[in-house]
Structure 1
Amino acid sequence: MAKPTTSKARRSNPSPSPVSSAVAAKFDAAARALPEEIVRTTPAYPRSWLNWAARIAATAARDASALVTVPLDDGSLRSEEILELAPLVEYVRAAKNNLDAERAVSTGVDASESALLSSVRADQMKIIRAFRTLRFRRNKVGLSLIRSLVRGAPNDPQDAVQDNTGLLSLCNSSDHEKWLHSLPNGEGAAAQRLWDRHNDLVALAAKSTIPAGAHDARELTHRLWTLLRLRLDRVLIAGRYLFAGNRARRAEYRGFRRPTTTKK
């Protein structure tokens, strides 16, 4: 196997923060204060998602004086909250880019190792989908557990080991093992493959070099994504209510739609 490239040998320069240190500290504090059970991972198509979020932020800034009049269950929107959306989007974008760059130089793997990671992640997601859509469909505690189990980077071997350990514990529990093997789409076989390849995954993780603080940075980035999602949700609810009778204006508050071409 090829020797992994270490972050000491190749380290990318972090992108400059798009916000002041005071604003960054404010966003970080708000993100860290979020309850653990609501923290979510990076959404699919993150680049496209952030571009959509930036458009929502611009629309909300234009409509701020009207949006603040809508009484929401968790408190009306504030002008400051709305105007902070655009810089929060760019702050999350910078955090994502820096984390991606750090991973790229710190988790060098060869073709066979990359294939192992891809295969493991595919089996993990097959099992996750079964729990989400069937077992825990109406179980908030279960859904929260699933989110907490798989929050790692797809190309990070150490994240993959951590995720695999938690997922296998769930799969092998007396509450779920028989059910999992009864499913028609091969989830039981996927769980067995994860078990069979776990030692190979551990060995791969042991030879990977992860920069100090990378896992903390990943956790903070997940929290920043969640903070942005929560604030966008409030704006979307208010906007859809406010412009319910105006199809064109209401469409400006439409939720994210994944791209139909390549994943971005």
Structure 2
Amino acid sequence: MSSLYHPTVARLTYRALLGRRRALILFILPGLLLALSLLVRSLAGADDQIANSVLGGFALATMVPLIGVIAGTGAIGPEIDDGSIVYLLAKPVKRPTIILTKLVVAVGVTIAFSAVPTLLAGFLLNGNSGQLAVAYALAAAVASIAYAALFLLLGTLTRHAVVIGLVYALVWETLFGSLVPGARTLSVQQWSLAVVEKLANADMITSDVGLPTAVALLAAATVGATLYAGQRLRGLTVAGEE
């Protein structure tokens, strides 16, 4: 495990993600979800349909991918943009180890700021009736892994990773991934929704992708993005030029 995870790289990555303005957004989104859940519960009481709408429409479809953008791109993008990545590459640390360490950090941050608040919101909304809170929290955790890997890769591909990531999260996942039938099969949101459909006791939840296919696609996206990100990092010279 020591050859795959580097504590110093992890510490620097955590500091980059939680010590800058990104941390403010990381706290704002879960705060909005919890505040909305409290408001809805106080006004409408415990209602499974409303809980499903909030957890599916805001938490899984909007908050999770946005947190993934912040954590995934922020784990490596700023270092590449400002050139400080060259100092890390000059150290005797294998580049796959750098990518895997940063992925672990990005996944941990994404789960902490998305899956955990989703679980709390589910209990606030309907006390986990129909297993909605647990199902959506697990779906958020699974989606967090794929999003972190995809947006970490994006951070190695372009200096505009945040902008492209936001477009993907807000346009593709939130809009097309929810409304356009053909796009749903290529949506991390729909893949993770298959987990909710399997675990929750509610007929109102359906995914366009079956669970076995969803698991395979989530694994393929995560592994593929991680491997390609490693290749991209290998293409960077110590001078910071490809």
Q: Normalized against structure 1, the TM-score is what?
A: 0.25
Higher relative contact order, structure no. (Cα contacts within 8 Å, ≥ 6 residues apart): 1
Q: Normalized against structure 2, the TM-score is what?
A: 0.27
Structure of greater Rg: 1
